[in-house]
Chains A and B, each alone.
Chain A
Amino acid sequence: MRPLRNWFRRGDLESGLDRELAYHLDRRISDLVNSGLSEAEARRQAKLELGGATQIREDVRDVWFTRWLRDLAYDLRFSARSFLRSPTFTATIVLSLALGIGATTAIYSLVDQVVLRALPVPEPERLVLIDWVGEQAAAGRGSTNLMSYPICLDLQQQERFFSGVLCRHETEVNLSTGGEAREVGAELVSGTYFAVLGVGPALGRLLNNEDAGAAGAHPVVVLSYDYWQAQLAGAPDVIGRKVLVNSQPMTVVGVAAATFRGIDVGKVPSLWIPVSMTSAAMPGWNPLTDRRTRWMQVLGRLRSGVSREQAQAGLQPWFKAMLEEDTRRADFPRITTNLRAKFLASTIGLTPAPQGHSSLRRRLSQPLWVLLAATALLLGLACLNVAGLFLARGSARGREITTRMALGASRARIGRQLLADSLVFALAGGALGILLAPFALKALISFLPNDGVANNLQSSIDGRVLLFTMTVSLVAGLLSGLGPALQAGRDSLILSLRSRGDAGIGGIRLRRMIITAQIAFTLVLVTGAALFVRTLTGLMDKGPGFSTSSLVSFGIQPRRSGYTSAEAGRLTRRLHDAIRNLPTTQSAALSGVALLEGGSWNNFMTIAARERITTDRVVHLNSVSTEYFSTLGIKLVAGRSFNQQDTSLIADRGVRTAVINQTMAKRYFGDRSPIGALLGFGREPGVKPDIEIVGVVADSSYRALREESDQAFFPILEGSDSGGHFYVRVRGTQEAAFQAIRAALHDTDPTLPIAYFRTLDEQVNRSLSTERMLATVSGGFGVLALLLSLVGLYGVMSFVVTQRTREIGVRLALGATRGAALWLVLRDAARMIAAGTVIALPCVWALGRLVESQLYGVTSTDAASVAAATAILVFTGLGAALIPAYRAASIDPTEALRFE
């Protein structure tokens, strides 16, 4: 390290040495003068005795910096100087590398943030996700990996394996800290949450087991540091303040540590509420003691010294006993023997969870790895391009290099110089790439839908990513410099010195190989882009199954603003009437669950027609108002839609009618008519099917555009319409309609927060965010790749034509046609393109499997996409070669020969 340190203070060292040597000389001169010599004579002799000052300086510098550092520094300086003399060349190379490195940095940063980065807690590697593997015979609410709260409490007793177990449910609440209520992300957590994670407070205290005790008894919350800073300006007296959570007063007891933003990178909570307050946070919901409601993710911290495998194996006996015990409980549902066997065969599974739990990660990690692989290809391509340019320059510099070798430079020394060239470029490209990366990262993050609850994705580049980028830059530099460096001085010295400057012919074979590889890389990227673009356009053409133009939607949750169920129903109806009567409204409908948000209400169903069957997969359910199908424009295929009678209340009977979609009708009824058949919720033997199917509607998307699911709709009964999602078909401009609807909302209840307000076009776009990201980014990469390799191909072909000018001239003079000359060059290009294609096709086939799950409507080996990509490459490639080929054909034989 000392040589490096010296390097940075070399100014001081140099001036010190100068003074030291000057002192020595002056003393010697004055001593010699004293002994009787003349001034001039003394100076001459003193210098002679000391030896050459330059030599001493060089020797001392070797001591300071060691040899290799000095050589490297000289090489780098030489490289930088020679590059500044050819700015176009330099700009081309630095830009190629910066694009590749910038893109890689941006996507790696996203991968790091979403997939790799561990939670900012002590020893995150000891955190595991505890999950039920198998049949839970329970109703679910939430995303994935859900279990009941009683099981979480059971697991907390397993102290042999865990030093602590936490559970959490993520939700949204209306939070008011003085002003208007706003919807924010919240986490309902066990009392162990903060202790198990090892997170401390920034202020006050965090939640404990007492807070999570008796239901409803502990109205306390912990605020996130960010919320405290942004909304409360970091008020130090926040502890003890009352805030309103869904209109219920709760006391702030603390603020969590600044670095901690929950355990889900995709959803950052603004506050933490003890699980005991669940029915306040989620009105009308009280699952605390129910073993058959799965709604919480459970994470454990392994006791130190206990491995995940040991814990998993050790937990099974307890788990088996619990399963047995469960089946004997009075509230255990009556289920079929088949289902019971599945239930009893369940196991408990532990998976590493140092990154916490996130549905964003689940959804995004595969597309992100695909994109990272694509950027790696792009970066590889950029490196190849740079290598090609180096080789081209190497041949131009052939004279310089052979002269240096003739003067005694070794091949290794020349190669090192060329490698230094590429390092200078890599560092410049890397630096520029790092400057570009935050913009690219911002663009990438903007693809993700992020209203409602904020995510924890940052567009700044942190130290870890910086390290990654520097490594990537160095590797890129070495890769792009290696070929040319090895090539250096291959050619015979004498031959190249004797020839008139067109040395470095040997490089042409390497350059051809580089072009071939570039074409292969490009074909892979272009094919990938074609597949993702076709997936996106396919989904957009298919649409959600209803017309989205002039359709807007918004959601209200009056129960979160303190309304009782009955009040909420009256409010919703009043609002529905008001909106229906607006001049800007064509029609308005209401649904219980929002469309295209990724979530659904679902259950297995029992169907009674000629015989009684149960569905073999869940049916996605929704409750809708009578105008739902007509407002959305979903076609009725058979039977009838809902009417006023369907929604009216009849004593002690729930819904009595249902409409199913075509997919479900086809799956369970085949060619028979489902009209008149009966449905019941669940698949247990005790289920009484008493809901009559009255109609069949065309398929439409529910959770997302790409799914095709069985769906059943039920009418929203009077009095059970306590909020939901409005779908309004508007006339006139959307702005006018938005204003009118907002006014109507304000008239109904000025304090009621609107969960969201958007057009269905926006909603469709949001639900396609991942597909759009893949298509846009891979499409951009495809275009870039094509440009890079076309430039490369053009460069090499031009070079070849220049090299062969004389040969072509001779051919032409001997009677070859212009067409033959044209073909001579084109054939060369065609050979490289063909070779590249042949290499790429198996790669396309192999890599295709990795992206299969991201595609829709096309297979990964879709012939049309591969053919289109190949055609694009062949035609543009030959087009790029045509220019030099044309130049070859128009060579004037007399000129070419006189040139010699």
Chain B
Amino acid sequence: MSTPRFPIPQGTLDMLILQILALEPAHGYGIAQRLDQISRSVVQVNQGSLYPALHRLEQKEWLQAEWKQSETGRDAKFYSLTRAGRKQLAVEKESWAKLTGAVQLIFDEGGN
């Protein structure tokens, strides 16, 4: 609670989810924990918005879901990246890089 956190920018939650799932399939709680680690340090993620986002990405067929046994032995819904999702992640990363690069450029110019 010591470091001030800023709310996650609109639309970046989807990208973060894709990024987390690119490493390995995970269930909602797992993703929430990962997000929590990130948000503890930098940004604030509302857990309530996680599930609508997951379902939205599933609707877009960037994620696929499967019920399987979790580490506690109980069935959980595991999400993993589809081929389209992987492609989407690449696209978002690239456009993010472009955007931040462009913003940085503007700031640099402004600084001069």
Query: Interface of A with B (CB < 8 Å)?
Result: 2, 16-17, 19-21, 23-24, 26-28, 30, 49-52, 55-56, 59-60, 62-64
Please judge, given known A-B contacts A2-B59, A23-B74, A27-B72, whether A62 and B27 are in contact too, CB under 8 Å.
no
Verify A56–B51 contact, CB threshold 8 A. Answer: yes
Looking at the complex, which one of A20, A52, A59, A63 makes contact with B28 (CB distance below 8 Å)? A20
Verify A64–B28 contact, CB threshold 8 A. Answer: no
Residues on B with C-beta less than 8 A from A56 are: 48, 51-52
Enumerate the 8 nearest inter-chain pairs by beta-carbon distance, A residue then B residue, closest first: A51-B48, A59-B52, A27-B29, A63-B55, A63-B56, A24-B29, A60-B55, A20-B77
Verify A23–B48 contact, CB threshold 8 A. Answer: no
B18 to chain A, nearest CB (A): 16
Residues on A with C-beta less than 8 A from B72 are: 27, 30
Q: Does B100 contact A (CB under 8 A)?
A: no
Q: Does B12 contact A (CB under 8 A)?
A: no
Residue of A nearest to B74 (CB): A23
Which applies to chain A's interface (DSSP): helix, strand, loop or mixed? helix
Q: Does B47 contact A (CB under 8 A)?
A: yes
CB contacts under 8 Å to A, within B4-44, are 27-29, 32
A69 to chain B, nearest CB (A): 13
Verify A17–B51 contact, CB threshold 8 A. Answer: yes
Tell me the complex Cα distance, A28–B59, Å. 26
Name 11 extra pairs, CB < 8 A, besides A17-B55, A63-B52. A23-B70, A23-B76, A27-B72, A51-B46, A51-B48, A56-B48, A59-B48, A60-B52, A60-B55, A63-B56, A63-B59
20 sampled A-B residue pairs with Cβ under 8 A: A16-B77, A17-B55, A20-B76, A21-B51, A23-B27, A23-B70, A23-B74, A23-B75, A24-B28, A26-B74, A30-B72, A50-B48, A51-B46, A51-B48, A59-B48, A59-B52, A60-B52, A62-B52, A64-B55, A64-B59
Tell me the complex Cα distance, A21–B55, Å. 12
Residues on B with C-beta less than 8 A from A62 are: 52
Please judge, given known A-B contacts A27-B72, A28-B29, A63-B56, whether A20 and B51 are in contact too, CB under 8 Å.
yes
Residues on B with C-beta less than 8 A from A27 are: 29, 72
Verify B77–A19 contact, CB threshold 8 A. Answer: yes
Tell me the complex Cα distance, A350–B22, Å. 69
Residue of A nearest to B77 (CB): A20
Residues on A with C-beta less than 8 A from B49 are: 59
Residues on B with C-beta less than 8 A from A21 are: 51
Residue of A nearest to B71 (CB): A27
Verify A51–B47 contact, CB threshold 8 A. Answer: yes
Residues on A with C-beta less than 8 A from B55 are: 17, 60, 63-64
Residues on A with C-beta less than 8 A from B59 are: 2, 63-64
Tell me the complex Cα distance, A49–B32, Å. 11
Most chain-A CB neighbours within 10 Å: which of B49, B55, B59?
A: B55
Residues on A with C-beta less than 8 A from B29 are: 23-24, 27-28
Verify B48–A52 contact, CB threshold 8 A. Answer: yes
Verify B47–A23 contact, CB threshold 8 A. Answer: no
A33 to chain B, nearest CB (A): 13
Tell me the complex Cα distance, A21–B52, Å. 11
Tell me the complex Cα distance, A336–B49, Å. 96
Tell me the complex Cα distance, A28–B46, Å. 15
Tell me the complex Cα distance, A30–B29, Å. 12
Residues on B with C-beta less than 8 A from A24 are: 28-29, 32
Most chain-B CB neighbours within 10 Å: which of A23, A28, A49?
A: A23
Verify B77–A23 contact, CB threshold 8 A. Answer: yes
Residue of B nearest to A49 (CB): B47
Tell me the complex Cα distance, A24–B48, Å. 11
Most chain-B CB neighbours within 10 Å: which of A16, A17, A60, A63?
A: A63
Please judge, given known A-B contacts A2-B59, A64-B59, whether A23 and B28 are in contact too, CB under 8 Å.
yes
Tell me the complex Cα distance, A607–B90, Å. 99
Residue of B nearest to A27 (CB): B29
Residues on B with C-beta less than 8 A from A2 are: 59
Residues on A with C-beta less than 8 A from B28 are: 20, 23-24
Verify A55–B51 contact, CB threshold 8 A. Answer: no
Residue of B nearest to A50 (CB): B47
- Chain B 58-87: CB-based contact to A (< 8 A → 1; otherwise 0): 010000000000101011110000000000
Tell me the complex Cα distance, A60–B57, Å. 11
Residues on B with C-beta less than 8 A from A60 are: 51-52, 55
B77 to chain A, nearest CB (A): 5
Residues on A with C-beta less than 8 A from B47 are: 49-51
Residues on B with C-beta less than 8 A from A50 are: 47-48
Tell me the complex Cα distance, A16–B51, Å. 12
Residues on A with C-beta less than 8 A from B52 are: 56, 59-60, 62-63
Tell me the complex Cα distance, A62–B53, Å. 11
Tell me the complex Cα distance, A19–B52, Å. 15
Tell me the complex Cα distance, A16–B55, Å. 11
Tell me the complex Cα distance, A28–B35, Å. 14
Residue of A nearest to B65 (CB): A16
B110 to chain A, nearest CB (A): 38
Residue of B nearest to A58 (CB): B52
Tell me the complex Cα distance, A2–B56, Å. 12
Residue of B nearest to A24 (CB): B29
B64 to chain A, nearest CB (A): 14
Tell me the complex Cα distance, A161–B101, Å. 69
Tell me the complex Cα distance, A60–B49, Å. 9
Tell me the complex Cα distance, A51–B55, Å. 17
Tell me the complex Cα distance, A56–B28, Å. 13
Tell me the complex Cα distance, A797–B29, Å. 66
Residues on B with C-beta less than 8 A from A26 are: 74
Residues on A with C-beta less than 8 A from B48 are: 50-52, 55-56, 59
Tell me the complex Cα distance, A30–B74, Å. 13
Residue of A nearest to B52 (CB): A59
A426 to chain B, nearest CB (A): 31
Residues on A with C-beta less than 8 A from B74 are: 23, 26
A594 to chain B, nearest CB (A): 71
Residue of A nearest to B72 (CB): A27
Tell me the complex Cα distance, A50–B52, Å. 12
A286 to chain B, nearest CB (A): 73
Residues on A with C-beta less than 8 A from B46 are: 51
Tell me the complex Cα distance, A50–B76, Å. 17
Residues on B with C-beta less than 8 A from A51 are: 46-48
Tell me the complex Cα distance, A28–B27, Å. 13
Tell me the complex Cα distance, A63–B50, Å. 12
Tell me the complex Cα distance, A23–B32, Å. 12
A398 to chain B, nearest CB (A): 38
Residues on B with C-beta less than 8 A from A49 are: 47
B101 to chain A, nearest CB (A): 32
B38 to chain A, nearest CB (A): 15
Tell me the complex Cα distance, A97–B92, Å. 54
